Structure 1
Amino acid sequence: MIHNLKKQAKGNLAPTFLTILFVILEVVMDVTIPFLMAFLLDRGVDAGNLSEIIKWGLLLLLCASIALLFGVLAGHFAAKASTGFARNVRRSLFHRVQDFSFSNIDKFSTASLVTRMTSDVTNIQHAYQMLTRIAVRSPVMLLFSFIMAYSINARLSMVYLVAIPVLGIGLFFLIRAAYPIFTRVFKIYDRLNMVVQENIRGIRVVKSFVREEHEKTKFNTVSDEIFKNFMKAEKIVAYNSPLMQGTMYVSILAISYIAARLIVSSSMTTGQLMSFITYTSQILMSLMMLSMVIVMLTISKASAQRIEEVLSEQSNLTQNTNGLTTIADGSISFEHVDFSYFNAQEKRCLYDINLRIESGQTVGILGPTGSAKTTLVQLIPRLYDVLSGSVKVGGVDVREYNLESLREAVAMVLQKNILFSGTIAENLRWGNEKAGDEELVQACRIAQADSFITAMTDGYQTHIEQDGTNVSGGQKQRLCIARALLKKPKILILDDSTSAVDTKTDAAIRKAMATEMRQTTKIIIAQRVASVEDADQIIMLDDGRIQAVGNHQQLLQSCPRYQELYTAQLRKEERA
């Protein structure tokens, strides 16, 4: 874990080193000041020598100014190093997620990934800054202060040898009790983010069903659970302060008592006592800061482990770096394909699929909900890999292609249509960033989107809100189809992507594609028989198995399930 996170410090080693250097120099000045103060008191104040007072006073002022300068520089470089480290971690996480297959993403919830890239990264950013400053300052201050105290009076400094083990043992038990709670809290944060995410994305549904109070209750339940766990952990950690304060006061009392006897016996001066007490405060404050660092590292350890889970996750879609970059045509074949989301034979959702689709054909896929229609087509661009068997495009196993080249040749319009904030033109150019205005218009005409776009005040420069909330469901679907057409793919997959448009528009889209995209293999997943009845072949899928394959007329004669579906929908249209 430390090895992987250490890589993220790349590019920030110089500010990290400078932070440590200036922290050490600041500590040197801080421990020098009490030492000089002893001379000020003994040679100046007690002796009544004004020149000595001025001399040592100016020297103290110089040391304090230098310490302040080193402290400012240490803070500057620590902030630069920690924010750079956090930037690298956040970027590495995001880039890793981009390389994930769908099954990798399924392993981590969306809310969990968001938490890891925000709250968890912030935690380790703070931890990194504390490591470069306080975690360096505290032990260095402890060591130097102990050396200076020992040089003043070796016997008196033995008090620390009793105080330090007491603090160490107490802190060990506090951390041991608090760590499991912090680990649990971050998992609850994932649930909280999921509740918020679902609510915001589905706010229209929430309001239409008047479920605001239910959502508030759901949020409060998770939020209260975080509060209770954090409060429990903070109560445990809070014992650290009285433990430190108590140890410090007892130590100071013990030192004062012993030192008073030494002063009476002329074995120690008043100035030395003042310096020794200052070193005592520095030592115990160093221990207190060190305990804070340990508490922070305890919290960040849980975050670091969660970040490590993502960084160490390897995509189960192995990229063929020397893979083929040219796809001959849009032909597709499934050969004895089995598939499972859990990579387990006993949990298959596709069973022994054998299918041949010629390049340029239009293929319809029908089947009830949960029959694995979407799963079947997701194997074509390698969004998932088969459990056994093979999927071939252009006569070559998809695993033999360069992944980017394969996906450039396949365009998918998914069930959940996503538009991004920006203009219509910007959204369309996701399909081809170099597409000219005429190409945009042509794609939109095929997708039957040009008419409603030109009717808008700003036309193709109309701004789309996040997730396309300012356009209708049917308009969103047509824009997503146009975006896919701009790729000029060899294979076009429409996954129930005309469900929100009327039958007339649906027919117009299919007719335009048949005329303008004759060389493109078109796969249409639909619920309406009318959407696929003109297809070259129609696949009836049920429970992950192919029930029948044929054109409209063939299936009407040979497939009872198709006959039943066609008749039911025909009657429904007649009643309408």
Structure 2
Amino acid sequence: MTNFLRLLKLCRPHLGAMLLGAFLATLTVLANVGLLAISGWFLAAMAAAGLAGTQMNYFTPAGTIRFLAIVRTASRYGERLVTHNATFLLLSEIRVSVFNTLSQLSNVDLAMSRSADLFNRMQNDVEALDKFYLNVLLPMIVALISVPIVVAIMAAYNSNVALLCFTALLIVGVALPIILSKQLQQTANLETHYSTTLRAELSETLSGLRELAIYQATEQQIEQCRAASERYNQQLFVRHSAEAHSNGVSLLIVQLSMLGAIMIIAPLVYSGAMANVELAMLSLFVLASFETVLTLPNAFIQLPVALSAAKRIFDLEDKLRPETTSVQESLSVQPLGLEFKDLSYCYHSDTFALNNLSFAIEPLQKVAIVGQSGSGKSTLVNLLSGLWPQQNGEINLNSADKTIAINTISQQNRCELINIVAQQHHIFDGTIAENLRYAAPSATKQQMRTACQQAQLGDWLSELKLGLDTRLGTGGRSLSRGQSRRLALAQALLRAPAILVLDEPTEGLDNQSKHQVMDAILTSMGHCTVISITHDPALLANMDNVIWLEQGQIKAIATHQQLLAEQPEYVNLITRF
């Protein structure tokens, strides 16, 4: 029920369109019921008049039938237009809400989920909620409004027929769907689970085609995908079978209700208590009245699926940390130093990634961090950027006039002060200018050209016909690795941070690209404090200090030249990498 209410809150911004759609849908149903009932009366009356050789006024019922037909057609068209527009509006609301939730999750929460699982929540679960208004909420509203109206009109003719019809409507529209919904509750959860598993298997298969081909394990992986598909299809078969059985029972009840109405009315017609033409009218009225609950069974079937999808999405939303109410400090972009005091970080095991780490970096100093894999380099950067929460110790920012703990400033201010150029930098499907404006939305084209020139992209940019308006394709597929890395540096230059963090900036590049990236780095180093995770001797030689980490602790702090002269292991370390 809680998830249902939370879904209703998402509908609030588009309540007017949804209520208008419900009104038009109700009008369509009532017009259709009235059309069938009056048509039955009109045909029976015409036949009776013909047999008796009498005259009757057929203009009024014929006009009424024409009017109801026009109302049904117009309201149906309007209902389709309004309800589908409301559905798309709600879908956009849900998508924005889910993406907003994902964007606010901490890196720890995101790391707990596989990318395929998050993709499933973004696509499969959102698509399930796409049908919430049209297939779940709208049929319930229509039934709540139209059933009392239909039963009240029917009771004006015969209360027994109205009671019979109302009971049958409750069975077909409420009792059977509730029973079916409870039966399918477990199926809905399994269906969602198997759908997630299947998408994950397919995603991992496509991502790992190269490795599967190398190890000749493609058939084995395809077999796992086939098994996941079969499990998912079995759950679909269970649901569809249950739906088919429910539809069969509903159809039987509808026919029995119509037969029961005839049995109630026939003695009254025989005794003269009711006109003979009303037998046809009421029996068809009973038959048509089931249109008011015609879509309710599917609504109750879709409800568990929608609530299951909503639970998975709202579970992500519930992970959001409440915003702190304490007063946050703020720093302007200026030369800043860093101080790490007794910094420790431990993952789920008892092994510390960082263990009582303490060192300081002066403003505008250039520092390299080296160490074997697992020595704590990436953990240190993640703590500095706020991607991981601090556990023990302090990280302080030192300016000319004050020292501020980094966890007392807002995440936005932290991002303004610290810029990270990662080893794997994502390029968005857009133009060069659009990608550069992610870093500096207000940057002019001249500023962007200057940043590209400083990042050693000037010659390449001048060769492009469209210049800054050149599209880069999905993931920047039209760029080489060196160009992608230098474009990331251009973004950093545009942002002009106080602290620039470089994560293996020359790793995996050919010699020409490596020299171009290094020239771009050296250009940017004069304006900010630089922390570079690197094992490139050429880049290390340009650093003021080198911090050597080993098993989460500092092994040595010295210049590159001092370490080369005094530490043979250091030579092996940078040579190996």
TM-score, normalization by structure 2: 0.86
In structure 1, the residue matched to 2:104 is 99
In structure 2, the residue matched to 1:359 is 363
Give the one of 482, 488, 494 matched to 1:486.
494
Partners of 2:191 and 2:375 lie apart in 1 by: 38
Alpha carbons 2:338, 2:396 under 8 Å: kept: yes
SS in structure 1 of the partner of residue 385 of structure 2 = coil
How far did 1:255 drift? 3.1
Distance 1:290 1:422, change over 3 A: closer
How far did 1:331 drift? 0.7
Partners of 2:468 and 2:30 lie apart in 1 by: 66
1:518 aligns with 2:529: no
TM-score, normalization by structure 1: 0.86
In structure 2, the residue matched to 1:20 is 22
SS in structure 1 of the partner of residue 131 of structure 2 = helix
**Residue range with higher mean Cα deviation, 309-318 or 536-545:** 309-318
In structure 2, the residue matched to 1:159 is 164
Distance 1:29 1:437, change over 3 A: closer
Partners of 1:328 and 1:397 lie apart in 2 by: 16
Q: Which letter maps to 2:109? A: N
Alpha carbons 1:141, 1:283 under 8 Å: kept: no
In structure 2, the residue matched to 1:128 is 133
Partners of 1:379 and 1:317 lie apart in 2 by: 19
Partners of 1:312 and 1:360 lie apart in 2 by: 41
Partners of 2:440 and 2:224 lie apart in 1 by: 42
Alpha carbons 2:334, 2:498 under 8 Å: kept: no
Residues 447-477 of structure 1, C-alpha deviation per residue, up to 9 Å, x if partnerless? 4444555566666554322112233323322
Partners of 1:166 and 1:366 lie apart in 2 by: 73
Give the share of equivalent positions with the same residue, in percent: 22
Distance 1:197 1:424, change over 3 A: farther
1:372 aligns with 2:376: yes
Alpha carbons 1:146, 1:279 under 8 Å: kept: no
1:465 aligns with 2:473: yes
Partners of 2:72 and 2:59 lie apart in 1 by: 20
Partners of 2:461 and 2:161 lie apart in 1 by: 85
Partners of 1:456 and 1:161 lie apart in 2 by: 73
Give the one of 289, 296, 303 matched to 2:302.
296
Give the one of 229, 238, 241 matched to 2:244.
238
In structure 1, the residue matched to 2:438 is 430
In structure 2, the residue matched to 1:572 is none
Q: Count residues with an aligned counterpart.
A: 567
Alpha carbons 1:439, 1:486 under 8 Å: kept: yes
In structure 2, the residue matched to 1:410 is 418
**Residue range with higher mean Cα deviation, 280-289 or 378-387:** 280-289
How far did 1:357 drift? 1.0
Alpha carbons 1:74, 1:133 under 8 Å: kept: no
How far did 1:92 drift? 1.9
Partners of 2:469 and 2:166 lie apart in 1 by: 74
SS in structure 1 of the partner of residue 11 of structure 2 = coil
Partners of 2:27 and 2:292 lie apart in 1 by: 16
Alpha carbons 1:20, 1:133 under 8 Å: kept: yes
SS in structure 2 of the partner of residue 477 of structure 1 = helix
How far did 1:495 drift? 0.7
In structure 2, the residue matched to 1:401 is 409
Alpha carbons 1:366, 1:373 under 8 Å: kept: yes
Give the one of 178, 182, 191 matched to 1:176.
182
Q: Which letter maps to 2:110? A: I
Partners of 2:524 and 2:282 lie apart in 1 by: 90
Partners of 1:421 and 1:38 lie apart in 2 by: 61
Distance 1:449 1:152, change over 3 A: same
Partners of 1:209 and 1:458 lie apart in 2 by: 44
**Residue range with higher mean Cα deviation, 384-393 or 556-565:** 556-565
Partners of 1:318 and 1:507 lie apart in 2 by: 45
Residues 173-203 of structure 1, C-alpha deviation per residue, up to 9 Å, x if partnerless? 3222212222222233334444454555666
Alpha carbons 2:49, 2:56 under 8 Å: kept: no
Q: Which letter maps to 1:428? A: L
SS in structure 2 of the partner of residue 349 of structure 1 = strand
Alpha carbons 1:196, 1:219 under 8 Å: kept: yes
Partners of 2:258 and 2:305 lie apart in 1 by: 32
1:68 aligns with 2:73: yes
In structure 2, the residue matched to 1:189 is 195
In structure 2, the residue matched to 1:573 is none
Q: For 1:244-283, list aligned pairs within 5 A.
A: 244-283=250-289
Partners of 1:296 and 1:111 lie apart in 2 by: 24
In structure 2, the residue matched to 1:119 is 124
How far did 1:282 drift? 2.9
Alpha carbons 1:263, 1:269 under 8 Å: kept: yes
Q: Which runs of 5+ in 2 are unaligned?
A: none
In structure 2, the residue matched to 1:497 is 505
Residues 335-391 of structure 1, C-alpha deviation per residue, up to 9 Å, x if partnerless? 22233466xx95753322222111111111112223331121122232222012221
Partners of 1:512 and 1:474 lie apart in 2 by: 11
In structure 1, the residue matched to 2:9 is 7
